[in-house]
């Protein structure tokens, strides 16, 4: 798809069919891709070599991801591609953003996160950070979520350069996605300052290469309840932090039922907003009324749900019902909420160009949305319409012996080839 190939192809089309059209080129390439898929049983070796290298980096979120970022930066530098690096406050972690080519038109962002979840307490059949190839599957922590997508994107950089596109591809690789989509915000702040134009973003989370145009948002809170301690034989002198915690948890349970019976979106497997308590800790002895207790709760809300309404109901119950009762006995009593995680829902804008492009090359399937969170909602809120589409099955992520299949990697290779082809064909058609 480079200039020599492109010039030859365009001349053949013009002699035979007249000026090339995007639809005609798409049809021909789709036929070629289907034929290739029937013949191929393994991804390109270059893709596998890159995946093996990426898996070897222990980028569990508590660790630094700099060795992996530096590897990618060096890989791109060898191709005369500059990378923009944005660090966290301690400079232990970083995002990488790179533009492939010199085109000035708004291009496509290929987005992935470099961090992975821990392996603590999991029993693996082999070293999680050594890629294992067995029976058409590639095992390793992050192979599915989501180093497989990053490896394919990097493997296709040479093809992107050869295509010499006027609307370039951009690579956006973030840190700390698994602990609340933290790092991507610094990257986007930098892009705002640089005024980088983009027509859309593809977040390569595992969707079996089907396009997803929505996911739920999430807010998680740590709640610390402070009461007053006493011997358990004199409970009237105390404010029992555990009991007041359970009253609040009971209220959250009631809210959960109300949410389940209100707004619905049947494109989700779980078609309503969920609210769940997930962690709890309190008490020091059987004969002591606890003065403190803490727990964590979260809600995953539909794109059409206003999360501030949920927040207000919870805060109102705390301020108007629980605290007056607690502080009647102990003025020092308190209930404090602190945000652990907060990322927005995704609803890809109707008619977004990126949706139309991805739909041409993604694996066909029923339109649906995913319950798990991604950075796509953050990109969309930033002003870059986004979809989710990547290799692997989310059910294989975060578990021992995580894997991505060879067939999924092949489909991802063909998918990015299709994107390159489409952007090249648009350039060819515009030059007519």
Tokens of 118: 């821990």
Q: Which of 115, 178, 402, 414 is catalytic?
A: 115
Catalytic residue among 58, 176, 177, 422: 177
Question: Would you list the DSSP string of 322-336?
Answer: IHHHHHHH-TT-EEE
Neighbours of 64 (CB within 10 A): 18
Question: Which letter, b or e, does each residue of 250-280 get, where b requires 16 or more Cβ atoms within 10 Å of its Cβ?
Answer: ebbeebbeebeeeeebebbeeebbbbebeee
Q: Residue 63: exposed, middle, or buried by beta-carbon count in 10 A (0-12, 13-18, 19+)? A: middle
115 a catalytic residue: yes
- Do residues 317 and 248 touch, judged by C-beta distance below 8 A? yes
Q: Determine the Cα angle at 85 with ends 79 and 87, to 5°.
A: 155
Preceding peptide of 161 cis, ω within 30°: no
- Between CA 426 and CA 382, with CA 355 as vertex, the angle to 5 degrees is 105
In this structure, the dihedral spanned by the alpha carbons of residues 367, 155, 35 and 165, taken in order and rounded to 10 degrees, is: 80
| No. of helices (H) and no. of strands (E), the chain | 13, 17
- Whether 414 is catalytic: no
34 contact partners, CB below 8 Å, separation of at least 6:
none
The span from the CA of 46 to the CA of 43, in Å, is 8
3-state secondary structure of 233: coil
Active site residues: 115, 177
């Amino acid at each position: 798809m480079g200039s020599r190939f492109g010039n030859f192809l365009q001349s053949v089309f013009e002699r035979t069919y007249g000026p090339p059209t995007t639809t005609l080129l798409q049809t021909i390439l789709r036929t070629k891709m289907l034929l290739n898929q029937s013949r191929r049983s393994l991804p390109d070796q270059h893709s596998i070599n890159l995946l093996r290298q990426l898996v070897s980096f222990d980028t569990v979120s508590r660790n630094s991801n700099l060795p992996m970022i530096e590897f990618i930066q060096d890989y791109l530098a060898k191709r005369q591609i500059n990378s923009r690096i944005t660090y966290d406050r301690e400079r232990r972690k970083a995002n990488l953003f790179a533009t492939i080519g010199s085109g000035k038109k708004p291009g496509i962002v290929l987005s992935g996160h470099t961090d992975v979840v821990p392996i603590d307490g999991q029993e693996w059949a082999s070293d999680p950070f050594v890629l294992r190839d067995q029976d058409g599957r590639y095992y390793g922590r992050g192979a599915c979520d989501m180093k497989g997508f990053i490896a394919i994107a990097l493997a296709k950089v040479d093809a992107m350069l050869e295509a010499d596109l006027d609307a370039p591809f951009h690579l956006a690789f973030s840190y700390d996605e698994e602990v609340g989509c933290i790092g991507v915000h610094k990257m986007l702040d930098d892009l705002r300052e640089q005024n980088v134009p983009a027509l859309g973003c593809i977040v390569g989370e595992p969707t079996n290469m089907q396009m997803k145009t929505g996911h739920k948002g999430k807010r998680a809170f740590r709640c610390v309840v402070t009461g007053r301690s006493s011997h358990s034989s004199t409970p009237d002198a105390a404010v029992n932090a555990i009991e007041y915690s359970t009253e609040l948890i009971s209220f959250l349970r009631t809210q959960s039922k109300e949410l389940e019976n209100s707004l619905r979106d049947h494109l989700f497997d779980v078609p309503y907003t969920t609210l769940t308590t997930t962690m709890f800790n309190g008490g020091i002895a059987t004969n002591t009324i606890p003065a403190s207790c803490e727990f964590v709760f979260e809600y995953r809300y539909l794109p059409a749900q206003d999360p501030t309404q949920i927040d207000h109901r919870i805060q109102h119950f705390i301020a108007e019902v629980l605290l007056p009762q607690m502080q009647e006995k102990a003025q020092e009593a308190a209930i404090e909420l602190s945000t652990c995680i907060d990322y927005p829902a995704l609803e890809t804008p109707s008619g977004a160009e990126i949706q139309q492009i991805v739909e041409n090359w993604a694996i066909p399937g029923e339109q649906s949305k995913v319950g798990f969170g991604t950075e796509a909602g953050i990109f969309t809120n930033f002003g870059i319409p986004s979809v989710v589409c990547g290799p692997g099955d989310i059910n294989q992520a975060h578990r021992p012996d995580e894997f991505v299949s060879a067939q999924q990697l092949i489909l991802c290779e063909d998918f990015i080839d299709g994107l390159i082809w489409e952007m090249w064909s648009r350039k060819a058609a515009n030059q007519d």
